[in-house]
Amino acid sequence: MSGNEQKYIDEAFETNWIAPLGKNVDEFEKEVAKYNGTAGAAAMSSGTAAIHIALELLDVRQGDIVFCSSLTFVASANPIYYLGGEPVFIDSEYETWNMSPVALARAMEEAQEKEKLPKAVVIVNLYGQSAKMDELMAICDLYGVPVIEDAAESLGSYYKGKHSGTFGKFGIFSFNGNKIITTSGGGMLVSNDVGKVERARFLATQAREKARHYQHQTVGYNYRMSNILAGIGRAQLEVLDDRVKARRAVFARYEKALGGIEGISFMPELTGTYSNRWLTAMEVDPEKLSVTANELMDALEKENIEARPVWKPLHMQPLFEGCKFYAHADDDVVSERLFARGICLPSGSNMTVKEQERVIQVIRERLG
């Protein structure tokens, strides 16, 4: 916590507004929209809920196709199933670890040939790094397919001077407990289409019509953020830029200490982008180091240091067995390679230099 959260929480208690309504919710939406330069924002109970609403607003229905990044957390794709859609997964590329424009172009070409273009494309900005938005947006615009930018992990990141999450029809942020700023649980949908943002709030508030009695003619959801949690978010947003600097400093120390070792490489930062470095992720080449990523994580675990693999690609998950997948190249499945070799290191904003040096020491010792 930043230390200023209690002020906003106290205001919610003093005014007796603790429900999914109130000043904190209204102001948090305005402040997030202003920070990112979007016309509007709607606070949700989670980033997953925001993706669900965005897909609903794009009229995804039973049997509709939705393209989605494969190297991501399951929450990016679960909402496709909520609506009865069919996810098609797109591989990563090496310069960002995000959606491959080459694979996306091939998927679009085949979809057009079959006369079944996707209703939407969910592009994920992995670990804070923006995808190649110019190339990806050009492909989607060519086929007239709207984009949902899953920026759950990339609040505070930039792509060519523009905020991450503001390129598609909708952008999605997460304020889960592990994100760069948190409301404990929560998310935000942003868009330059004010009408769609208003519709998102309507759907997220059980689709209650404007009437004295409780009138409903549309299926709605209980997805609004509480006024208390929004208060936490307002204080967190005030220190977002400081958190980004802290995460980037953690990344820089890891890279300086380990980046010169042959066989270790860190998640790249594409030229013209600025990553919030939400997580420091590195790739371990077992052929050059005689150590696998799993063995390195085992060594850290023995010292009570938690490290995790890179996300298991969704096309490899049992949940999505049978779903179509487009690789970066026939002989090069980038997401599978990153999963086999990738490690996410401890990266908290409040991590001390001493704590980080201990992590580095264990890694160096295991590498010999």
The model's pLDDT over 299-356, given as tens digits with 9 standing for 90+, comes to: 999 999 999 999 999 999 999 999 999 999 999 999 999 999 999 999 999 999 999 9
Kindly give the pairing relationship between strand 264-266 and strand 280-284. Answer: antiparallel
Q: For 115-142, give the secondary structure using H, E and C.
A: CCCCCEEEEECHHHCCCCHHHHHHHHHH
Separation CA 272–CA 71 (nearest Å) = 22
pLDDT band at 175 (very low <50, low <70, confident <90, very high): very high
Answer for the pair 303, 278: CB distance below 8 angstroms, yes or no. no
Length of the chain in terms of residues written: 368
Mean pLDDT, range 214-240, rounded to an integer: 94
Answer for the pair 126, 247: CB distance below 8 angstroms, yes or no. no
Domains defined along the chain, listed by start: 5-239 (3.40.640.10), 241-367 (3.90.1150.10)
Per-residue pLDDT reduced to its tens digit, 16-48: 888 888 999 999 999 999 999 999 999 999 999
Answer for the pair 194, 40: CB distance below 8 angstroms, yes or no. yes
Which DSSP symbol is given to 268?
P
pLDDT of residue 3: 85
> Which of 277, 211, 212 lies closest to 249, judged by CA?
277
Please state, in angstroms and as integers, the Cα–Cα distance from residue 244 to each residue in 95, 180, 192, 253, 347, following that order: 21, 7, 25, 14, 11
Which of 125-139, 209-223, 256-270 bottoms out in mean pLDDT, i.e. has the lowest? 209-223
The residues, any chain, with a CB within 8 Å of residue 328's CB and separated by 6 or more, are: 91, 92, 93, 100, 102, 103, 334
SS3 178: coil
- C-alpha angle with apex 58: 55 to 60, nearest 5 degrees? 65
Task: Kindly state the tokens that stand for 347.
Answer: 């990266």
